[in-house]
């Protein structure tokens, strides 16, 4: 089945640690996105990538980093510079020509302990 797989589902981070969230898609989609969702707020864009080896900052990129070395993979690293990382993180993808996020993964809930 085609889709987007995010892992892990739950992640705990200690203060000062970097953690990496995985996002893999087998839909052959060109564009991939990372969003953060906090209670009572809309999804906020962290980074997006339209093609391999290229990505752009979203509205809240500070404290995060990404890479796009393969079309199917778009991992997100939450660095120690991100002061409030506890949130629900969502990865999405879309094919060329569709002006929206077509599919979302099931999310990773990150908690700082």
Binding site for other proteins (CB under 8 A): 4, 6, 31, 33, 40-43, 45, 48, 50, 56, 58-59, 90, 92, 98-107, 109
The least CB distance from residue 69 to other proteins, in Å, is: 20
Q: 18 — phi, psi (to 5°)?
A: -95, 145
14 or 99: CB nearest other proteins = 99
61 or 80: CB nearest other proteins = 61
C-beta of residue 62 within 8 angstroms of C-beta of residue 82: yes
72 or 104: CB nearest other proteins = 104
C-beta of residue 55 within 8 angstroms of C-beta of residue 38: no
Question: Where does residue 16 fall: left (phi above 0), alpha (psi -120 to 50 degrees), or beta otherwise?
Answer: left
């Amino acid at each position: 089945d085609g889709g987007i797989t995010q892992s892990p589902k739950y992640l705990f981070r200690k203060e000062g640690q970097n953690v990496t969230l995985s996002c893999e898609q087998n839909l052959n989609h060109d564009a991939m996105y990372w969003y953060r969702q906090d209670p009572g707020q809309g999804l906020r864009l962290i980074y997006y990538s339209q093609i391999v080896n290229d990505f752009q900052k979203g509205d809240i990129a500070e404290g995060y980093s990404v890479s796009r070395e393969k079309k199917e993979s778009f991992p997100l690293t939450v660095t120690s510079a991100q002061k409030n990382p506890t949130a629900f993180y969502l990865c999405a993808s879309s094919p060329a020509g569709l002006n929206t996020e077509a599919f979302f993964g099931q999310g990773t809930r990150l908690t700082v302990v």
